Amino acid sequence: MENPVLIFGANSIGRAAKEIFEKNNVVVYGFLDDDKKLHQKEIDEVVVLGASDDDGFLKLIGKKCEAFVAADDTKLRKNLVKMLNDIRHVQPVNAIHPDATVSARAEIGYGNFIDHGAYLSPGSKIGSHCIIHSKVVLGVETALGDFVQIGTGCNINAGVKIEDEVFVGSGVTIVSGITVGKGARIGAGSVVIAPVKAGETVFGNPAQAIKA
């Protein structure tokens, strides 16, 4: 990637993404964030230039600049991605830490965050706009949909299918062959040994559904 990057979100994901891009010798042009208190402030030697809908900066994206969406709130992330798709006709770039291990036989979409120590096995597939934190292991032929978040230290065994917009807390183990339905949430430290329904929240060892 030759162009500099604008990062949407001056939060923890944004700061981690900045470090990833710089480790990959990519210049970070600046942050855009909707918190007006941050505007014109410097974070990790880079300025928060303005809001995410600032047309003066959005015009740069495409020919002169790439974009990365660092929002960890799924709804906000989806809205920012849609704006970039619709207005600038671009896809956000991936932020992949140089110390992550990605098999040449893994498939990755757009706009994903993959942190230090993550391992993507042969045949694993990741959709777009996912957040994969440090030391996550994705086993052979695991499949992630879009807008999935996987917390630090998770072990996703072979053949697991995780559908769109699923949230997996830190330190979760999902045994081989399990399907996790769209929008489900898995609490930190859980061991998932049975399928999780769409929209369901599960927690524990073994993971059990939590009634709202």
The span from the CA of 193 to the CA of 29, in Å, is 44
Instruction: Check pLDDT > 80 for residue 197.
Output: yes
pLDDT over 70 at 209, yes or no: yes
pLDDT band at 211 (very low <50, low <70, confident <90, very high): confident
pLDDT at residue number 2:
79
Is residue 66 classed as helix, strand or coil in its secondary structure? strand
Above 90 in pLDDT, residue 179?
yes
Residues 104 and 193 reside in one and the same domain: yes
CATH number of the domain where residue 145 is located:
2.160.10.10
Question: Same domain for 107 and 196?
Answer: yes
Find how far residue 119's CA is from the centre of its chain: 14
Separation of CA 203 from chain center: 22
CATH code, domain carrying 31: 3.40.50.20
Nearest Cα residue to 125 out of 105, 111, 98:
105
- Is pLDDT at 113 greater than 90 in this prediction? yes
Q: Is residue 56 part of a domain?
A: yes
CA angle 27, 30, 34 (to 5 degrees): 150
Distance CA 91, CA 62 (A): 9
Same domain flag for 35 and 130:
no
Round to whole Å and give the CA distance between 162 and 123: 15
pLDDT digits 0-9 by tens, 153-174: 999 999 999 999 999 999 999 9
Tell me, what DSSP letter sits at residue 147? S
pLDDT category at 212 given cuts 50, 70, 90 is low
Mean pLDDT of the chain: 96
Q: How far is CA 193 from CA 54, 103, 186, 205, in A?
A: 46, 26, 12, 9
pTM of the model: 0.95
Residue 82 falls inside a structural domain:
yes
> Does the residue 208 lie in any domain?
no
Q: Provide the token pair at 127.
A: 């959709």
What pLDDT score does 177 carry? 97
Predicted local confidence at residue 37, as pLDDT: 95
For 69-88, write each residue's pLDDT tens digit.
999 899 999 999 999 999 88
Tell me the residue range of the domain where 83 lies: 5-93
Residue 186 shares a structural domain with residue 128: yes
132 within domain boundaries: yes
Of 67, 93, 119, which marks where a domain is finished?
A: 93
Percentage of residues in the chain having pLDDT higher than 70? 99
pLDDT digits (tens, 9 = 90+) for 51-62: 999 988 899 998
Token look-up 């597939």 returns: 125
DSSP state of 211: P
Whether 52 contacts 70, CB under 8 Å: no
Residues 119 and 193 in one domain: yes
Q: Of 163, 173, 136, 168, nearest to 149 (Cα)?
A: 168
The answer to whether position 212 is within a domain reads: no
- Domain closes at, from 34, 66, 93: 93
Residue 85 C-alpha from the chain's centroid: 17
What is the count of structural domains for the chain?
2
On whether both 73 and 103 belong to a single domain, the answer is no
pLDDT, position 62: 87
